[in-house]
Amino acid sequence: MTARVAAAATAGHLRVRIPGLLRSYTGGVETVDLDLAGPPTVAHALAILDARFPGLRFRLIDEQGAIRPHIKLFVDAAIVRDLDAAIPPGVELMIVGALSGG
């Protein structure tokens, strides 16, 4: 964890990095600071993010409640595939979207 992230993140707060392909849902915002007033899980963080930016969660999570195959979520540089994964204080959630073509 970088000193900048540690300084920006405190207990109950989470910084989320949004990839370029999803910034049309956030009005161009690259980083979002969330107040996690509730369970510090990936699912809770995504619910708060979707409340602020409607439609964003659907781009990350499919109809069965699983993380979409082309989306990778990292909590403090560790990949997370479980929405119930805990988010420790002072770390960052990074959303990465794979690009494909054909």
- Whether 7 shows a pLDDT value over 90: the answer reads no
Predicted local confidence at residue 38, as pLDDT: 79
In a domain, 24, yes or no: yes
Domain count, the chain: 1
Predicted local confidence at residue 98, as pLDDT: 81
Report the C-alpha gap between 75 and 95 in whole angstroms. Answer: 9
In a domain, 102, yes or no: no
Within 8 A by CB and 6+ apart from 48, the residues are 34, 35, 36
37-86, pLDDT tens digit by residue?
Answer: 878 899 999 999 999 999 999 999 999 999 999 999 999 999 999 999 99
Report the C-alpha gap between 62 and 90 in whole angstroms. Answer: 28
Direct distance between the N- and C-terminal alpha carbons of the chain, in angstroms, rounded to an integer: 36
- DSSP H helical segments within the chain, as ranges? 3-8, 42-52, 56-60
Predicted local confidence at residue 85, as pLDDT: 94
17-26, pLDDT tens digit by residue?
Answer: 999 999 999 9
Predicted local confidence at residue 101, as pLDDT: 60
In a domain, 92, yes or no: yes
Predicted local confidence at residue 33, as pLDDT: 93
Q: What is the mean pLDDT of residues 4-30?
A: 78
Within 8 A by CB and 6+ apart from 77, the residues are 94
In a domain, 52, yes or no: yes
Q: What is the mean pLDDT of residues 96-102?
A: 74
Answer yes or no: are the C-beta atoms of 48 and 55 closer than 8 Å: no
Q: What is the CATH number of the domain that holds 20?
A: 3.10.20.30
Q: Domain span at residue 80?
A: 3-8+15-97
